[in-house]
Amino acid sequence: MKRNFLLILLIVLCQSTFALPPDRNTDAYPLHRCEKALTDVIIHDIFSPPVASRIYAYANIAAHEALAAATDQRESLYGKLKSLPQVPNPGKEVLPSLAAVCAFMLTGEKLVFSEPLLHDSLQNILAYYKSMKISDEEFNSSMAYGETVASVILNWAGTDKYKETRKIRRYNYLKEEGKWIPTPPGYMAAVEPYWNQIRTMVLDSCNQFMPEKPLPFSKDTASAFYKQAYEVYVAGKNLTKHQYDIASFWDCNPFFLNVEGHLNYATKKISPGGHWISIAGLVARNTGADLMKTSKAYTYTSIALFDAFISCWDEKFRSNVIRPETYINAYIDESWRPLLQTPPFPEYTSGHSVASTVASIVLTGLFGKDVSFDDDTEVEFGLPVRHFTSFEEACKEAAISRLYGGIHYRVAIENGRKEGLLLGEYVAGRLLR
Protein backbone atom coordinates (compact mmCIF):
# COMPACT_ATOMS: atom_id res chain seq x y z
CA MET A 1 0.00 0.00 0.00
CA LYS A 2 2.75 2.45 0.96
CA ARG A 3 4.75 1.69 -2.14
CA ASN A 4 1.69 2.28 -4.32
CA PHE A 5 1.16 5.59 -2.59
CA LEU A 6 4.71 6.67 -3.39
CA LEU A 7 4.36 5.71 -7.04
CA ILE A 8 1.06 7.57 -7.35
CA LEU A 9 2.65 10.57 -5.72
CA LEU A 10 5.46 10.46 -8.26
CA ILE A 11 2.96 10.55 -11.13
CA VAL A 12 1.30 13.60 -9.61
CA LEU A 13 4.67 15.29 -9.39
CA CYS A 14 5.74 14.48 -12.94
CA GLN A 15 4.55 17.83 -14.23
CA SER A 16 5.99 19.84 -11.35
CA THR A 17 9.28 21.71 -11.48
CA PHE A 18 12.11 21.46 -9.03
CA ALA A 19 14.69 24.14 -8.37
CA LEU A 20 18.06 22.62 -7.57
CA PRO A 21 19.13 23.89 -4.14
CA PRO A 22 22.34 25.90 -3.83
CA ASP A 23 24.10 23.04 -2.01
CA ARG A 24 27.82 22.58 -2.45
CA ASN A 25 27.16 18.86 -2.52
CA THR A 26 24.03 18.15 -4.53
CA ASP A 27 24.21 14.35 -4.51
CA ALA A 28 23.85 14.37 -0.72
CA TYR A 29 21.06 16.97 -0.73
CA PRO A 30 18.18 14.45 -0.53
CA LEU A 31 19.74 12.81 2.53
CA HIS A 32 20.18 16.18 4.25
CA ARG A 33 16.55 16.93 3.47
CA CYS A 34 15.42 13.60 4.90
CA GLU A 35 17.40 14.23 8.08
CA LYS A 36 15.81 17.64 8.62
CA ALA A 37 12.37 16.21 7.97
CA LEU A 38 12.90 13.48 10.54
CA THR A 39 14.21 15.96 13.09
CA ASP A 40 11.14 18.14 12.60
CA VAL A 41 8.84 15.18 13.24
CA ILE A 42 10.84 14.08 16.30
CA ILE A 43 10.43 17.59 17.70
CA HIS A 44 6.74 17.65 16.81
CA ASP A 45 6.10 14.30 18.48
CA ILE A 46 8.14 15.28 21.59
CA PHE A 47 10.32 12.20 21.78
CA SER A 48 12.66 12.01 24.77
CA PRO A 49 16.44 12.14 24.14
CA PRO A 50 16.93 8.34 24.42
CA VAL A 51 14.00 7.53 22.13
CA ALA A 52 15.04 10.21 19.65
CA SER A 53 18.50 8.63 19.46
CA ARG A 54 16.89 5.29 18.61
CA ILE A 55 14.88 6.80 15.75
CA TYR A 56 17.92 8.55 14.29
CA ALA A 57 20.05 5.42 14.55
CA TYR A 58 17.75 2.97 12.78
CA ALA A 59 16.72 5.39 10.02
CA ASN A 60 20.33 6.29 9.27
CA ILE A 61 21.54 2.70 9.41
CA ALA A 62 18.87 1.79 6.85
CA ALA A 63 20.08 4.54 4.51
CA HIS A 64 23.72 3.63 5.06
CA GLU A 65 23.25 -0.08 4.41
CA ALA A 66 21.21 0.56 1.26
CA LEU A 67 23.91 2.88 0.01
CA ALA A 68 26.73 0.48 0.90
CA ALA A 69 25.03 -2.49 -0.77
CA ALA A 70 24.47 -0.49 -3.94
CA THR A 71 27.99 0.93 -4.12
CA ASP A 72 30.64 -0.77 -1.99
CA GLN A 73 29.90 -3.72 0.30
CA ARG A 74 33.11 -3.00 2.22
CA GLU A 75 31.41 0.06 3.72
CA SER A 76 28.66 -2.04 5.28
CA LEU A 77 28.22 -2.08 9.04
CA TYR A 78 27.51 -5.79 8.94
CA GLY A 79 29.75 -7.43 11.55
CA LYS A 80 30.32 -4.12 13.36
CA LEU A 81 26.91 -3.69 14.98
CA LYS A 82 25.43 -6.22 17.35
CA SER A 83 23.29 -8.79 15.45
CA LEU A 84 22.83 -6.46 12.46
CA PRO A 85 21.62 -8.64 9.56
CA GLN A 86 23.22 -8.38 6.17
CA VAL A 87 20.91 -6.69 3.69
CA PRO A 88 20.44 -8.44 0.33
CA ASN A 89 22.08 -7.16 -2.85
CA PRO A 90 19.90 -4.93 -5.04
CA GLY A 91 19.66 -7.51 -7.79
CA LYS A 92 18.68 -4.86 -10.33
CA GLU A 93 20.29 -1.59 -11.26
CA VAL A 94 19.36 1.06 -8.70
CA LEU A 95 20.18 4.69 -8.03
CA PRO A 96 22.05 4.39 -4.69
CA SER A 97 20.95 7.73 -3.24
CA LEU A 98 17.27 7.12 -4.06
CA ALA A 99 17.40 3.65 -2.52
CA ALA A 100 19.04 5.13 0.59
CA VAL A 101 16.46 7.92 0.86
CA CYS A 102 13.60 5.44 0.50
CA ALA A 103 15.09 3.14 3.16
CA PHE A 104 15.56 6.12 5.48
CA MET A 105 12.04 7.46 5.09
CA LEU A 106 10.22 4.15 5.34
CA THR A 107 12.21 3.19 8.43
CA GLY A 108 11.66 6.57 10.05
CA GLU A 109 7.94 6.50 9.37
CA LYS A 110 7.53 3.32 11.41
CA LEU A 111 9.34 4.79 14.40
CA VAL A 112 7.46 8.09 14.80
CA PHE A 113 3.86 8.96 15.61
CA SER A 114 3.23 11.59 12.93
CA GLU A 115 3.98 9.43 9.92
CA PRO A 116 2.03 11.61 7.42
CA LEU A 117 4.27 14.61 8.16
CA LEU A 118 7.21 12.90 6.50
CA HIS A 119 5.26 12.68 3.25
CA ASP A 120 5.36 16.46 2.90
CA SER A 121 9.14 16.37 2.56
CA LEU A 122 8.97 13.30 0.38
CA GLN A 123 7.25 15.30 -2.35
CA ASN A 124 10.22 17.59 -2.93
CA ILE A 125 12.63 14.69 -2.77
CA LEU A 126 10.75 12.72 -5.41
CA ALA A 127 10.57 15.82 -7.59
CA TYR A 128 14.32 16.15 -7.27
CA TYR A 129 14.83 12.64 -8.60
CA LYS A 130 12.33 13.20 -11.39
CA SER A 131 14.35 16.22 -12.46
CA MET A 132 17.32 13.88 -12.96
CA LYS A 133 15.50 12.17 -15.87
CA ILE A 134 16.02 8.68 -14.50
CA SER A 135 14.04 5.90 -16.11
CA ASP A 136 10.85 4.57 -14.57
CA GLU A 137 12.49 1.16 -14.28
CA GLU A 138 15.44 2.52 -12.29
CA PHE A 139 13.14 4.61 -10.14
CA ASN A 140 10.87 1.66 -9.35
CA SER A 141 13.74 -0.72 -8.64
CA SER A 142 15.43 1.86 -6.40
CA MET A 143 12.24 2.41 -4.43
CA ALA A 144 11.61 -1.33 -4.15
CA TYR A 145 15.14 -1.95 -2.91
CA GLY A 146 14.88 0.83 -0.34
CA GLU A 147 11.68 -0.76 0.89
CA THR A 148 13.45 -4.12 1.20
CA VAL A 149 16.28 -2.64 3.24
CA ALA A 150 13.85 -0.78 5.48
CA SER A 151 12.03 -4.02 6.18
CA VAL A 152 15.29 -5.74 7.19
CA ILE A 153 16.31 -2.91 9.52
CA LEU A 154 12.85 -2.61 11.07
CA ASN A 155 12.79 -6.33 11.81
CA TRP A 156 16.17 -5.96 13.50
CA ALA A 157 14.94 -2.93 15.45
CA GLY A 158 11.97 -4.96 16.64
CA THR A 159 14.29 -7.26 18.60
CA ASP A 160 16.06 -4.56 20.67
CA LYS A 161 13.58 -4.86 23.60
CA TYR A 162 12.07 -1.42 23.03
CA LYS A 163 8.57 -2.88 22.77
CA GLU A 164 9.08 -4.90 25.92
CA THR A 165 10.07 -1.81 27.92
CA ARG A 166 6.80 -0.14 26.90
CA LYS A 167 4.93 -2.80 28.89
CA ILE A 168 6.82 -2.56 32.18
CA ARG A 169 4.90 -1.18 35.14
CA ARG A 170 5.30 2.56 35.69
CA TYR A 171 8.44 3.51 37.61
CA ASN A 172 8.04 4.43 41.28
CA TYR A 173 10.73 6.79 42.51
CA LEU A 174 12.71 5.82 45.60
CA LYS A 175 11.48 7.52 48.74
CA GLU A 176 14.93 7.72 50.26
CA GLU A 177 16.99 10.69 51.33
CA GLY A 178 19.30 11.90 48.59
CA LYS A 179 17.49 10.10 45.78
CA TRP A 180 15.87 11.69 42.74
CA ILE A 181 12.27 12.85 42.93
CA PRO A 182 10.15 14.65 40.30
CA THR A 183 10.78 18.38 40.04
CA PRO A 184 8.71 21.50 39.30
CA PRO A 185 6.90 22.82 37.44
CA GLY A 186 5.43 19.65 35.97
CA TYR A 187 6.62 17.01 38.46
CA MET A 188 6.72 14.64 35.50
CA ALA A 189 7.27 10.90 35.73
CA ALA A 190 10.72 9.47 35.14
CA VAL A 191 11.80 9.32 31.49
CA GLU A 192 12.86 5.86 30.26
CA PRO A 193 13.85 4.27 33.59
CA TYR A 194 14.35 0.91 31.87
CA TRP A 195 16.44 2.16 28.95
CA ASN A 196 19.42 0.07 30.06
CA GLN A 197 17.48 -2.98 28.85
CA ILE A 198 17.66 -1.77 25.24
CA ARG A 199 20.18 -3.69 23.13
CA THR A 200 23.38 -1.73 22.54
CA MET A 201 24.81 -1.51 19.03
CA VAL A 202 28.57 -1.33 19.53
CA LEU A 203 29.05 -1.63 23.29
CA ASP A 204 29.27 -5.11 24.79
CA SER A 205 26.80 -4.07 27.51
CA CYS A 206 25.12 -1.03 29.01
CA ASN A 207 27.65 -0.92 31.87
CA GLN A 208 30.83 -1.55 29.89
CA PHE A 209 32.08 1.94 30.73
CA MET A 210 30.50 2.44 34.13
CA PRO A 211 31.59 5.83 35.52
CA GLU A 212 33.04 6.54 38.94
CA LYS A 213 30.55 6.50 41.78
CA PRO A 214 28.93 9.87 42.57
CA LEU A 215 29.72 11.74 45.75
CA PRO A 216 27.96 10.28 48.81
CA PHE A 217 24.87 12.24 49.76
CA SER A 218 25.17 14.54 52.75
CA LYS A 219 23.38 17.52 54.28
CA ASP A 220 26.48 18.55 56.21
CA THR A 221 27.59 22.00 55.11
CA ALA A 222 31.21 20.84 55.26
CA SER A 223 30.60 17.84 52.99
CA ALA A 224 31.70 17.55 49.37
CA PHE A 225 28.10 16.96 48.31
CA TYR A 226 26.88 20.18 49.94
CA LYS A 227 29.76 22.12 48.38
CA GLN A 228 28.97 20.87 44.89
CA ALA A 229 25.35 21.91 45.31
CA TYR A 230 26.39 25.29 46.68
CA GLU A 231 28.54 25.84 43.59
CA VAL A 232 25.47 25.36 41.40
CA TYR A 233 23.49 27.71 43.63
CA VAL A 234 26.09 30.51 43.49
CA ALA A 235 26.67 30.07 39.77
CA GLY A 236 22.95 30.38 39.10
CA LYS A 237 22.70 33.61 41.06
CA ASN A 238 25.72 35.22 39.39
CA LEU A 239 25.56 34.21 35.74
CA THR A 240 27.45 36.36 33.28
CA LYS A 241 25.87 37.05 29.89
CA HIS A 242 28.39 34.67 28.32
CA GLN A 243 27.37 31.87 30.69
CA TYR A 244 23.69 32.64 30.20
CA ASP A 245 24.10 32.42 26.42
CA ILE A 246 25.93 29.09 26.66
CA ALA A 247 23.28 27.56 28.92
CA SER A 248 20.46 28.76 26.69
CA PHE A 249 22.11 27.57 23.47
CA TRP A 250 22.62 24.02 24.74
CA ASP A 251 19.32 23.73 26.62
CA CYS A 252 18.00 21.15 24.11
CA ASN A 253 14.92 20.39 26.20
CA PRO A 254 12.40 18.59 23.93
CA PHE A 255 9.53 19.47 26.26
CA PHE A 256 9.74 22.81 28.09
CA LEU A 257 6.61 23.21 30.22
CA ASN A 258 5.26 26.76 30.37
CA VAL A 259 3.09 27.53 33.39
CA GLU A 260 0.93 30.65 33.39
CA GLY A 261 -1.62 30.51 36.16
CA HIS A 262 -3.81 27.51 35.49
CA LEU A 263 -2.60 27.28 31.89
CA ASN A 264 0.13 24.77 31.05
CA TYR A 265 1.54 24.40 27.55
CA ALA A 266 4.70 23.01 25.99
CA THR A 267 7.45 24.66 23.98
CA LYS A 268 9.04 22.05 21.73
CA LYS A 269 12.76 22.13 21.04
CA ILE A 270 15.47 19.93 19.60
CA SER A 271 16.98 17.13 21.71
CA PRO A 272 20.71 16.90 22.59
CA GLY A 273 21.12 14.12 20.05
CA GLY A 274 19.23 16.09 17.43
CA HIS A 275 21.58 19.02 17.96
CA TRP A 276 24.61 16.83 17.22
CA ILE A 277 22.91 15.29 14.20
CA SER A 278 22.46 18.86 12.96
CA ILE A 279 26.16 19.58 13.52
CA ALA A 280 27.09 16.43 11.60
CA GLY A 281 24.99 17.60 8.67
CA LEU A 282 26.19 21.19 8.56
CA VAL A 283 29.87 20.15 8.67
CA ALA A 284 29.25 17.56 5.93
CA ARG A 285 27.73 20.32 3.79
CA ASN A 286 30.47 22.84 4.61
CA THR A 287 33.24 20.42 3.70
CA GLY A 288 31.57 19.22 0.51
CA ALA A 289 31.38 15.63 1.77
CA ASP A 290 30.18 13.15 -0.83
CA LEU A 291 27.09 11.02 -0.30
CA MET A 292 28.83 8.12 1.44
CA LYS A 293 30.79 10.34 3.81
CA THR A 294 27.64 12.32 4.58
CA SER A 295 25.83 9.09 5.36
CA LYS A 296 28.71 8.03 7.59
CA ALA A 297 28.58 11.35 9.45
CA TYR A 298 24.89 10.96 10.21
CA THR A 299 24.99 7.21 10.83
CA TYR A 300 28.12 6.96 12.98
CA THR A 301 27.01 9.95 15.06
CA SER A 302 23.55 8.47 15.62
CA ILE A 303 24.99 5.06 16.58
CA ALA A 304 27.36 6.73 19.06
CA LEU A 305 24.48 8.73 20.56
CA PHE A 306 22.31 5.62 20.80
CA ASP A 307 24.88 3.71 22.86
CA ALA A 308 25.76 6.82 24.86
CA PHE A 309 22.20 7.25 26.11
CA ILE A 310 21.96 3.58 27.06
CA SER A 311 25.21 3.81 29.04
CA CYS A 312 24.25 7.09 30.70
CA TRP A 313 20.69 6.04 31.56
CA ASP A 314 22.03 2.83 33.09
CA GLU A 315 24.02 4.92 35.57
CA LYS A 316 21.27 7.47 36.13
CA PHE A 317 18.82 4.95 37.52
CA ARG A 318 21.48 3.00 39.39
CA SER A 319 22.92 5.91 41.38
CA ASN A 320 19.61 7.82 41.34
CA VAL A 321 21.15 11.10 42.50
CA ILE A 322 18.99 14.01 43.65
CA ARG A 323 18.84 17.01 41.32
CA PRO A 324 20.40 20.36 42.36
CA GLU A 325 17.02 22.08 42.36
CA THR A 326 15.59 19.63 44.90
CA TYR A 327 18.67 19.72 47.13
CA ILE A 328 19.13 23.50 47.04
CA ASN A 329 15.45 24.14 47.79
CA ALA A 330 15.57 21.75 50.75
CA TYR A 331 18.91 22.68 52.33
CA ILE A 332 20.12 26.04 50.96
CA ASP A 333 17.42 28.33 49.56
CA GLU A 334 13.81 27.25 49.04
CA SER A 335 13.14 30.09 46.60
CA TRP A 336 16.02 29.28 44.21
CA ARG A 337 15.19 28.20 40.66
CA PRO A 338 17.60 27.03 37.93
CA LEU A 339 17.90 28.90 34.64
CA LEU A 340 16.97 25.75 32.72
CA GLN A 341 14.02 23.53 33.51
CA THR A 342 15.15 20.42 35.38
CA PRO A 343 14.54 17.35 33.20
CA PRO A 344 12.54 14.42 34.62
CA PHE A 345 15.21 11.85 35.40
CA PRO A 346 18.07 11.40 37.91
CA GLU A 347 21.10 13.67 37.88
CA TYR A 348 24.20 11.47 37.58
CA THR A 349 25.84 11.43 35.06
CA SER A 350 25.12 14.38 32.78
CA GLY A 351 23.51 13.06 29.62
CA HIS A 352 24.57 16.02 27.49
CA SER A 353 28.15 15.61 28.70
CA VAL A 354 28.26 11.92 27.78
CA ALA A 355 26.42 12.25 24.46
CA SER A 356 28.25 15.39 23.29
CA THR A 357 31.63 13.89 24.06
CA VAL A 358 30.87 10.68 22.20
CA ALA A 359 29.48 12.53 19.17
CA SER A 360 32.45 14.90 19.06
CA ILE A 361 34.95 12.01 19.05
CA VAL A 362 33.21 10.25 16.18
CA LEU A 363 32.93 13.46 14.14
CA THR A 364 36.56 14.33 14.83
CA GLY A 365 37.52 10.89 13.53
CA LEU A 366 35.59 11.58 10.33
CA PHE A 367 36.46 15.22 9.64
CA GLY A 368 39.57 16.00 11.69
CA LYS A 369 40.50 17.95 14.83
CA ASP A 370 40.54 21.52 13.56
CA VAL A 371 37.22 21.75 11.75
CA SER A 372 35.59 25.08 12.57
CA PHE A 373 31.90 25.68 12.02
CA ASP A 374 29.10 28.12 12.69
CA ASP A 375 26.41 26.22 14.54
CA ASP A 376 23.04 27.58 13.44
CA THR A 377 21.02 24.69 14.90
CA GLU A 378 19.19 26.87 17.41
CA VAL A 379 18.35 29.77 15.08
CA GLU A 380 14.85 28.43 14.42
CA PHE A 381 14.31 28.37 18.19
CA GLY A 382 15.18 32.04 18.55
CA LEU A 383 18.88 31.76 19.46
CA PRO A 384 21.87 33.16 17.56
CA VAL A 385 24.62 31.26 15.73
CA ARG A 386 27.63 30.18 17.79
CA HIS A 387 31.07 29.64 16.29
CA PHE A 388 33.29 26.71 17.27
CA THR A 389 36.86 25.94 16.22
CA SER A 390 36.47 22.20 16.76
CA PHE A 391 34.00 19.50 17.77
CA GLU A 392 35.83 19.22 21.08
CA GLU A 393 35.27 22.90 21.86
CA ALA A 394 31.56 22.47 21.17
CA CYS A 395 31.24 19.38 23.35
CA LYS A 396 33.07 21.01 26.27
CA GLU A 397 30.74 24.00 26.06
CA ALA A 398 27.70 21.70 25.91
CA ALA A 399 28.90 19.92 29.04
CA ILE A 400 29.57 23.01 31.20
CA SER A 401 26.25 24.50 30.07
CA ARG A 402 24.56 22.12 32.50
CA LEU A 403 26.26 23.78 35.47
CA TYR A 404 25.36 27.26 34.24
CA GLY A 405 21.80 26.06 33.65
CA GLY A 406 21.53 24.80 37.22
CA ILE A 407 20.59 21.22 36.39
CA HIS A 408 23.84 19.34 37.06
CA TYR A 409 26.65 19.27 39.60
CA ARG A 410 30.22 19.64 38.34
CA VAL A 411 31.08 16.03 39.26
CA ALA A 412 28.30 14.70 37.02
CA ILE A 413 29.65 16.83 34.16
CA GLU A 414 33.30 15.88 34.61
CA ASN A 415 32.63 12.18 35.13
CA GLY A 416 30.13 12.25 32.29
CA ARG A 417 32.91 13.58 30.06
CA LYS A 418 35.21 10.77 31.22
CA GLU A 419 32.51 8.21 30.53
CA GLY A 420 31.96 9.74 27.11
CA LEU A 421 35.67 9.73 26.26
CA LEU A 422 36.02 6.02 26.96
CA LEU A 423 32.79 5.19 25.17
CA GLY A 424 33.56 7.46 22.23
CA GLU A 425 37.04 6.06 21.66
CA TYR A 426 35.64 2.54 21.72
CA VAL A 427 32.77 3.30 19.33
CA ALA A 428 34.94 5.32 16.96
CA GLY A 429 37.53 2.55 16.99
CA ARG A 430 34.95 0.00 15.94
CA LEU A 431 33.25 2.13 13.29
CA LEU A 432 36.24 3.91 11.77
CA ARG A 433 38.74 1.08 11.69
Q: What is the pLDDT of residues 214-272, one digit of tens each?
A: 999 999 999 999 999 999 999 999 999 999 999 999 999 998 888 877 788 878 999 99
122 with 35, same domain: the answer is yes
> Do the bridges between strand 255-260 and strand 386-388 make them parallel or antiparallel, or are there none, so unpaired?
unpaired
299 with 420, same domain: the answer is yes
337 with 212, same domain: the answer is yes
Cα 129 to chain centroid distance, Å, stands at: 28
Residue 257 β-bridge partners: 266
pTM metric for this prediction: 0.93
Cα-Cα-Cα-Cα dihedral sign, residues 364, 368, 374, 380: negative
Q: Is residue 2 part of a domain?
A: no
Q: Is residue 370 part of a domain?
A: yes
Cα-Cα-Cα-Cα dihedral sign, residues 306, 311, 315, 321: negative
Instruction: Give the list of residues 6+ apart from residue 275 with CB closer than 8 angstroms, or none.
Output: 250, 252, 377, 378, 398
294 with 147, same domain: the answer is no
pLDDT of residue 10: 36
In total, how many domains does the chain have?
2
Q: Is residue 193 part of a domain?
A: no
Question: Using omega within 30 degrees of 0 as the cis cutoff, is the peptide bond preceding 185 cis?
Answer: yes
Instruction: Give the single-character DSSP code of 344.
Output: S
Q: Is residue 421 part of a domain?
A: yes
pLDDT of residue 377: 97
In angstroms, the CA 329 to CA 185 distance is 13
107 with 251, same domain: the answer is no
Q: Show the domain range for 72.
A: 23-163
320 with 247, same domain: the answer is yes
Q: Is residue 18 part of a domain?
A: no
pLDDT of residue 265: 81
Please classify residue 111 by burial: count the beta carbons closer than 10 Å to its beta carbon, then call 0-12 exposed, 13-18 middle and 19+ buried.
Answer: buried
334 with 402, same domain: the answer is yes
156 with 219, same domain: the answer is no
245 with 382, same domain: the answer is yes
Q: Residue 267 belongs to a domain with what CATH number?
A: 1.10.606.20
Q: Is residue 12 part of a domain?
A: no
> Can you tell me whether residue 81 is helix, strand or coil?
coil
Distances (CA, A) of 360 to 26, 318, 400, 420: 25, 26, 15, 10
Q: Is residue 8 part of a domain?
A: no
Each residue's pLDDT expressed in tens, for the chain with a length of 433 residues: 444 434 333 333 333 333 334 444 468 999 999 999 999 999 999 999 999 999 999 999 999 999 999 999 999 999 999 999 999 999 899 999 999 999 999 999 999 999 988 877 777 787 888 788 889 999 999 999 999 999 999 999 999 999 999 999 999 999 899 999 999 999 999 999 999 999 999 999 999 999 999 999 999 999 999 999 999 999 999 999 999 999 999 999 998 888 877 788 878 999 999 999 999 999 999 999 999 999 999 999 999 999 999 999 999 999 999 999 999 999 999 999 999 999 999 999 999 999 999 999 999 999 999 999 999 999 999 999 999 999 999 999 999 999 999 999 999 999 999 999 999 999 999 999 8
In angstroms, the CA 351 to CA 408 distance is 10
Q: Residue 152 belongs to a domain with what CATH number?
A: 1.20.144
Q: Is residue 360 part of a domain?
A: yes
244 with 356, same domain: the answer is yes
290 with 425, same domain: the answer is yes
Helix, strand, coil percentages (3-state) for the chain, rounded to 5, are 60, 5, 40
Please classify residue 257 by burial: count the beta carbons closer than 10 Å to its beta carbon, then call 0-12 exposed, 13-18 middle and 19+ buried.
Answer: middle
pLDDT of residue 26: 63
pLDDT of residue 134: 86
287 with 425, same domain: the answer is yes
